[in-house]
Chains A and B, each alone.
Chain A
Amino acid sequence: SQQGEEDPQALSIQEGENATMNCSYKTSINNLQWYRQNSGRGLVHLILIRSNEREKHSGRLRVTLDTSKKSSSLLITASRAADTASYFCATGGVTGANSKLTFGKGITLSVRP
């Protein structure tokens, strides 16, 4: 079963615009991670946010986490054509007995030049 549900399923924007993607989940988590995937290749790790963090930045990426609403958002600022890809959120449990990642179905982002 899939824990994360991304929204929207597809997003098309112009280069230079900001892209906001949302993720909701159902059960308690230890951390939430965002990944990018280009054309059915391997997943590229973008950012991890811990359950006790509310916001995190990495370059043009900004991730927020609201554990009370069980939701997260990924903001990509000043988008580029190279950002065109599928984006997944994945929730993780504590390391040890529950360290698997549970993924959503992903968001397809298209950035038009």
Chain B
Amino acid sequence: DAGVTQSPTHLIKTRGQQVTLRCSPKSGHDTVSWYQQALGQGPQFIFQYYEEEERQRGNFPDRFSGHQFPNYSSELNVNALLLGDSALYLCASSLGGRGSYNEQFFGPGTRLTVL
């Protein structure tokens, strides 16, 4: 039973470029959340996708967008990259139906470096 997978593992971009990160949830999970973790900090919630729609969003600008596909996998897109976007991007999957306690399982992350 595969856990949460993310690709790529590492990515180097330059300011102003655009990037797409990918996530496949744990088998049986239908909800994907994305988090940004700066060095030395805890993860910060970006947004969550459920039933192919953005269900909740954190305090991130519109440059951050996402998508969820019918197979529950998800993409995170960041446009017009800034140096401050350099971070570890974590994807987490969970069961999103009402009554569950939102236990989230994380992938290994994508390390994004913006030069």
Contact = CB atoms under 8 A, between A and B. Distances in A.
Is chain B's binding surface mostly helix, strand, loop or mixed?
loop
A106 B44 CA distance: 12
B105 A45 contact: yes
A95 B106 contact: no
Given A33-B104, A101-B104, A95 B98 contact: yes
A105 B41 contact: yes
A2 B45 contact: no
Contact of A42 (B44, B98, B100, B109): B109
Contacts, number: 90
B55 interface: yes
Given A40-B88, A43-B106, A100 B33 contact: yes
Counting chain A residues whose Cβ lies within 8 A of the other chain, the interface size class is 20 to 34
A69 B48 CA distance: 29
B105 to A, nearest CB: 6
Contact of A31 (B4, B31, B39, B101): B101
A30 B90 contact: no
B55 A101 contact: no
A96 B109 contact: no
A60 interface: no
Interface of B: 4, 6, 31, 33, 35, 39-45, 48, 55-56, 58-59, 88, 90, 92, 94-109, 111
Task: List 10 A-B pairs, minimum CB-CB distance, nearest first.
Answer: A103-B42, A42-B108, A43-B106, A100-B45, A99-B102, A42-B106, A92-B102, A95-B102, A103-B43, A105-B42
